A and B are shown apart, each in its own frame.
Chain A
């Protein structure tokens, strides 16, 4: 081994790129959770971050399929393209797909047009808690990144939730080196963020380098739209209630982030390839989350939602 090492040094050090380092770190986190928890699940939102996370899971456990199911906490209001990719991606990875829709939200017909904040609260926040409780998952992977938002910059990779799924920013465990403490009491669970140290640009570069399939909505194409409160919304299906005199207009648009279609603003763009998207991203001057209606209200809103159990 000494000989080999010497030979290696003589050939020169192999410099790992930032993407290789990020990939390795994420894979380590994924494996650590599988090794140390009883029943992990990967929350899969079908967005680009989810796509990268799923890809990393495939790599981490190859040649085995990832030893946990995918779970989509569905609001029934996602883009149709997302549903199509979701089902195919799970099948290709050889993973079980669990789709959870909050039955109460369903019964009450909660929707983003009539119910505002209640829509997110019931379908997403409550729906997620229900799904985790119902299946008894003790660890859930999420695709959140620290660069997304200020309060996330301080969240741990392993984020502990009480039995009632609350996050207490004061009592998180210190994370040193590569050592994650996954021990917990019965009823407690962990949210784990393998992409914590990735930035939006890293995600795009990785998708490009690894040729990862993403929802076509990320690339610009002519799509039917209306403009409301400054957001360009896509009329994705016939549930979209048009106001009087409102007529869908075809615009060349793409999305920087994907959620419920009535809540997700598009950007007008002609970037129809990945590198054009990255180009626009680098030249653009608005941050990713601006397209989402949910955290505009107040600066600390995300932090509040997190304390209540929103992912």
Chain B
């Protein structure tokens, strides 16, 4: 059974010409792969076999392996390779692998790092962890059992985490008499499933970890199989890092190297692309541009550096750039955004709290982020979408994620460094989730921030005033426009630079495409809020007069403005009073059912809980109200 199959290393060369051997091995590449399968698929045996055949097992380990095999092994008097890789004491007793373990072996062409990931149901988090750095996944199937639920789950996870190379290792072929039709049947089954979840290609290999068939050398037992052996295939798979070199340049800044005033280097790992001195680059999210001056190393300056390399870069200009920023190709920068759709794998025993702020670490940037209620979760047995309120340990779901500031990002499938993130509990510091950004929620985020030299402070100071947004809210007919208009006139007379955004006027122009559904009302306010913010950035005192019925949207506008610049003015007029005035005849129409979704009639109004200014129009004249508001604005 456990025949000593051919070694991967050329022992002869080691003995005869060690320098030639070393020269040969100095230029090996590195491939990381994961192995997944259920407990009994023979995964540990396969890994043990790979280590054994590549001579990564020494004589003393072998002696203890032989002794252990007889004592606790499952192979009678034969060597139990599984014992080589089952590590922690508790696991040994249970006879299962419960964590991610990393193993190493090498062939003539490559060094391999194997993430040994568990087949046990509750350990999705470990498999995702092991898979996150892998170029390739080896999915084991017991030739007697075929495609199982477990197989589907592992394949789904491997695909989800973006592994492009899937090897279907149909193991234990010795136990099905190396039957070609059995192999074909399993491959057909798997192909049907794989196609359904979007796996475009995979390589199926019939093998036996125990007997060594089709692992290092072609098995005589499977003359009908003309594909590569497992090792041959692993040696030729294209590396993700090679592929990333052709993409545009991106490097998250990890550390700023400042030994003295004359040197300012930006250290980090190149996430994608190729970099040369002289290349124009853009720093995100600020948007400032410069060119690469030097690529500095201890062994002298480099004229090129590529994806996966840790480098230190200096720029031609003194521009702001610090840890967490991304240096990118100037003409092909990544997007920046603060709202995303993401796929989240929950990894903590405490379930996710939608709306709770977690630390989100992506690239070298850590920001505060909230996760919204899942759009759906994935049932790991059927892979069907489930409607859920939250995510628990080992759950996978699609959620919206809001960050507290703009971050440079790319969809995960394009760039794992700029799209893969972890969530950290702010209290326990535990890593509670892993996530993959799918896309930014707002298409407008495709636009990059253009850095400006005249700042909002400069705009304001030339006007000799403190900008603010006076946000008037209240029912239709409450007197918002009247009072706002008076306030503006007073400020104008006093030489203040103001602008009044009025509901009806905006609806004729900027927002003429919007109606009065809840969704359109939210969008209406969002646009107005952004316009108001731009005007405040320009140094203006902005007045807005919109019903703006929902608290959440008013709070959203408050959040995008600097502290203290949003002043909520609640024009408090009871519905009966406003309806009694009915200056535009709208209430009458609404009552007759000719106007749908009218605030106060068939659409709710949420009054402010803590307005900055409140005006009761049943007790105060418009003129007095305007004067009081002007005093508040100038008294700031």
Residues of B72-126 whose CB lies within 8 A of A: 85-90, 92, 99-104, 106, 110-111, 113, 116, 125-126
Which residues does chain B contribute within 8 Å of A60, judged by CB atoms? Answer: 267, 310
CB-CB under 8 A for A287 and B60, given A1-B329, A205-B26, A209-B26: yes
Bound-state Cα–Cα, A65 to B85, Å: 39
CB-CB under 8 A for A181 and B30, given A154-B99, A174-B125: no
Q: Is A28's CB under 8 angstroms from B310's CB? A: yes
CB-CB under 8 A for A278 and B18, given A4-B279, A183-B429, A185-B429: yes
- Chain B residues touching A, range: 35 or more
Q: Map CB proximity to A onto B404-444 as digits: 1 under 8 Å, 0 otherwise.
A: 00000000000011001110100001110010000000000
B58 an interface residue at 8 Å Cβ cutoff? yes
Q: Map CB proximity to A onto B247-286 as digits: 1 under 8 Å, 0 otherwise.
A: 1110000110111000101011100011010011100000
CB-CB under 8 A for A5 and B273, given A18-B28, A184-B429: yes
Which of B14, B26, B30, B297 is A62 in contact with, Cβ under 8 Å?
A: B297
Q: Is A205's CB under 8 angstroms from B64's CB? A: no
Which residues does chain A contribute within 8 Å of B181, judged by CB atoms? Answer: none
Q: Is A64's CB under 8 angstroms from B64's CB? A: no
Which residues does chain A contribute within 8 Å of B60, judged by CB atoms? Answer: 285-287, 290
Bound-state Cα–Cα, A23 to B26, Å: 13
Stretch at the interface among B144-152, B223-231, B238-246: B238-246
B272 to chain A, nearest CB (A): 10
Bound-state Cα–Cα, A165 to B113, Å: 29
Q: Map CB proximity to B onto A248-268 as digits: 1 under 8 Å, 0 otherwise.
A: 000000000000000000000
Q: Map CB proximity to B onto A280-311 as digits: 1 under 8 Å, 0 otherwise.
A: 00111111001000000001100100000000
Q: Is B87's CB under 8 angstroms from A150's CB? A: yes
A135 an interface residue at 8 Å Cβ cutoff? no
B494 an interface residue at 8 Å Cβ cutoff? no
Bound-state Cα–Cα, A18 to B241, Å: 12
Bound-state Cα–Cα, A35 to B324, Å: 11
Stretch at the interface among A7-15, A109-117, A232-240: A7-15
Which residues does chain A contribute within 8 Å of B280, judged by CB atoms? Answer: 1
Q: Is A181's CB under 8 angstroms from B361's CB? A: yes
B331 an interface residue at 8 Å Cβ cutoff? yes
Bound-state Cα–Cα, A196 to B104, Å: 11
Report the nearest B residue to A8, measured CB to CB. B274
Bound-state Cα–Cα, A165 to B518, Å: 56
Q: Map CB proximity to B onto A168-203 as digits: 1 under 8 Å, 0 otherwise.
A: 010001111111010111000000000011010110
A54 an interface residue at 8 Å Cβ cutoff? no
Report the nearest B residue to A62, measured CB to CB. B298
Report the nearest A residue to B282, measured CB to CB. A1
Which residues does chain B contribute within 8 Å of A99, judged by CB atoms? Answer: none
Q: Is B309's CB under 8 angstroms from A183's CB? A: no
Which residues does chain A contribute within 8 Å of B424, judged by CB atoms? Answer: 181, 183
A121 an interface residue at 8 Å Cβ cutoff? no
Bound-state Cα–Cα, A276 to B22, Å: 11
Q: Is A31's CB under 8 angstroms from B254's CB? A: yes
Report the nearest B residue to A29, measured CB to CB. B310
Q: Is B267's CB under 8 angstroms from A31's CB? A: yes
Q: Is A5's CB under 8 angstroms from B126's CB? A: no
Bound-state Cα–Cα, A63 to B85, Å: 41
Residues of A128-159 whose CB lies within 8 A of B: 146-147, 150-151, 153-154
Stretch at the interface among B128-136, B188-196, B573-581: B128-136
Q: Is B263's CB under 8 angstroms from A205's CB? A: no
Chain B contact residues: helix, strand, loop or mixed: mixed
CB-CB under 8 A for A2 and B248, given A28-B310, A60-B310, A174-B347: yes
Report the nearest B residue to A153, measured CB to CB. B101
Q: Is A31's CB under 8 angstroms from B310's CB? A: yes
Which residues does chain A contribute within 8 Å of B309, judged by CB atoms? Answer: 16, 20, 24
Report the nearest A residue to B416, measured CB to CB. A177
Q: Is B103's CB under 8 angstroms from A153's CB? A: yes
Q: Map CB proximity to A onto B191-226 as digits: 1 under 8 Å, 0 otherwise.
A: 000000000000000000000000000000000000
B447 an interface residue at 8 Å Cβ cutoff? no
B606 an interface residue at 8 Å Cβ cutoff? no
B23 to chain A, nearest CB (A): 10
Which residues does chain A contribute within 8 Å of B101, judged by CB atoms? Answer: 153-154
A126 an interface residue at 8 Å Cβ cutoff? no
B308 an interface residue at 8 Å Cβ cutoff? yes
Q: Is A285's CB under 8 angstroms from B87's CB? A: no
Bound-state Cα–Cα, A265 to B330, Å: 58
Q: Which of B239, B245, B434 has the most CB of A within 10 A?
A: B245
Report the nearest A residue to B58, measured CB to CB. A287
B182 an interface residue at 8 Å Cβ cutoff? no
Which residues does chain A contribute within 8 Å of B64, judged by CB atoms? Answer: 299
A163 an interface residue at 8 Å Cβ cutoff? no
Q: Is A8's CB under 8 angstroms from B125's CB? A: no
B631 to chain A, nearest CB (A): 47
Bound-state Cα–Cα, A256 to B85, Å: 23
CB-CB under 8 A for A279 and B267, given A17-B26, A146-B102, A169-B88: no
Q: Is A176's CB under 8 angstroms from B88's CB? A: no
B111 to chain A, nearest CB (A): 4
B513 an interface residue at 8 Å Cβ cutoff? no
Q: Is A13's CB under 8 angstroms from B102's CB? A: no
Q: Is B279's CB under 8 angstroms from A1's CB? A: yes
Bound-state Cα–Cα, A21 to B26, Å: 12
B454 an interface residue at 8 Å Cβ cutoff? no
Which residues does chain A contribute within 8 Å of B239, judged by CB atoms? Answer: 15
Which residues does chain B contribute within 8 Å of A150, judged by CB atoms? Answer: 85-87
Q: Is B420's CB under 8 angstroms from A179's CB? A: yes
B610 an interface residue at 8 Å Cβ cutoff? no
Q: Which of A19, A20, A150, A176 has the most CB of B within 10 A?
A: A176
B306 an interface residue at 8 Å Cβ cutoff? yes
CB-CB under 8 A for A154 and B87, given A18-B110, A63-B263, A202-B111: yes
Which of A18, A177, A284, A286 is B420 in contact with, Cβ under 8 Å?
A: A177
CB-CB under 8 A for A275 and B87, given A5-B273, A28-B310, A183-B359: no
Bound-state Cα–Cα, A179 to B64, Å: 37
Residues of A28-74 whose CB lies within 8 A of B: 28, 31-32, 34-35, 58-65
Q: Is A176's CB under 8 angstroms from B434's CB? A: yes
CB-CB under 8 A for A146 and B310, given A35-B323, A35-B364, A278-B22: no
Which residues does chain A contribute within 8 Å of B25, judged by CB atoms? Answer: 201, 205
A118 an interface residue at 8 Å Cβ cutoff? no
Bound-state Cα–Cα, A208 to B19, Å: 11
Report the nearest A residue to B347, measured CB to CB. A174
CB-CB under 8 A for A174 and B269, given A16-B308, A61-B257: no
B393 to chain A, nearest CB (A): 12
Bound-state Cα–Cα, A184 to B92, Å: 31
Which of B111, B128, B265 is A18 in contact with, Cβ under 8 Å?
A: B111
- 5 shortest interchain CB distances as A-B pairs: A1-B329, A285-B59, A287-B58, A18-B30, A27-B310
A-B contact pairs, 28 of them (CB 8 A): A1-B280, A1-B331, A4-B274, A5-B329, A9-B246, A14-B274, A17-B28, A17-B30, A18-B30, A18-B106, A21-B308, A24-B308, A35-B255, A58-B298, A62-B297, A62-B298, A146-B103, A147-B56, A147-B103, A153-B85, A153-B87, A154-B102, A176-B422, A177-B416, A179-B422, A183-B429, A279-B18, A286-B60
Which residue numbers of B lie inside 8 Å of A, CB to CB? 9, 11, 14-15, 18-19, 21-22, 25-30, 56, 58-61, 64, 68, 85-90, 92, 99-104, 106, 110-111, 113, 116, 125-126, 128-129, 132-133, 239, 241-242, 245-249, 254-255, 257-259, 263, 265, 267-269, 273-274, 276, 279-281, 296-298, 304, 306, 308-310, 312, 323, 329-332, 347, 359, 361-362, 364, 416-417, 420-422, 424, 429-431, 434
